[in-house]
Amino acid sequence: DIMYKLAKGESIEHGYIGISMTSLTPDFVRQNNARVEGEGVERSVVGIMPEVHGAIITKVMPNTPAANGGLRKFDIVIEIGGKRVRNAAEAQAVVDASKVGVNLSMKIIRTTGGNGGPGASNSNLQQRTVTVKPGDWNDRLREEEGFRQIEQKRLIDQQRKLIKEMEKQFGGGGDGDDGGGDGNDGGDNGRVYVFPYRPN
């Protein structure tokens, strides 16, 4: 289906919701919980996590489908669109394949009543379902490219302003001729050349 669309010159949509995740396994959780309890690490910072397979959200980007849908940092994703997910890669694959603009259900385990991560000492864990509406990753890339172009233009404008100020300070520029001086020595007297910085 993807090859057929590419052959027709159609763009391929990639769903995105705007989160960063890392895999969660029972072994990893047991090691984390043992470290928290054994070393006395503050639970409100790390927390005792449930021993499940899934993906824990480490970051929710602002103004994204995830943020708009109510997902939070430390939510543990265990099911997306009715499909069980056992790690971050599986979760990402389901999101990538999701339809843009169509509601996507996500079953999560969330801390309630506390201030820290999953299983913080003053909190409870509850399963709940959150609904998000995936956006198009290509639109997100175009949006980010637009931001980069705006920032690049701002930097170039700053550099041009700086060059003009330095030319005034050191006697360059003037009447706009190609000498900048009296014309006897090629016109480099007092002129400072600043090469524009081009951000990556």
**93 pLDDT above the threshold of 50:** yes
Query: Which structure tokens are listed for 174?
Result: 């003037």
Given a contact cutoff of 8 angstroms between Cβ atoms, the answer to whether 119 and 76 are in contact is: no
Distance, in Å, from the CA atom of 40 to the CA atom of 38, rounded to the nearest integer, reads: 6
Query: Which structure tokens are listed for 109?
Result: 């385990």
Query: Which structure tokens are listed for 167?
Result: 């030319």
> Taking residues 35-44, what's their average pLDDT?
52
Tell which wins on pLDDT, 169 or 70.
70
Q: Which of 15-19, 175-179, 186-190 has the highest mean pLDDT?
A: 15-19
Listed range (46-60, 70-84, 92-106, 167-181) with the worst mean pLDDT = 167-181
> Is the four-CA dihedral 14, 21, 77, 93 of positive or negative sign?
positive
Residue 171 region, left (φ>0) first, then alpha (ψ -120 to 50), else beta? left
pTM of the model: 0.58
**147 pLDDT above the threshold of 70:** no
User: β-pairing, 19-24 with 76-80?
Assistant: unpaired
> Taking residues 166-173, what's their average pLDDT?
71
Tell which wins on pLDDT, 97 or 4.
97
Determine the residue type at 55.
A
> Taking residues 174-180, what's their average pLDDT?
47
- CATH number among 2.40.30.160, 2.60.200.30, 3.30.2320.20, 2.30.42.10, domain 2-133: 2.30.42.10
Tell which wins on pLDDT, 40 or 17.
17
Tell which wins on pLDDT, 81 or 154.
81
**149 pLDDT above the threshold of 50:** yes
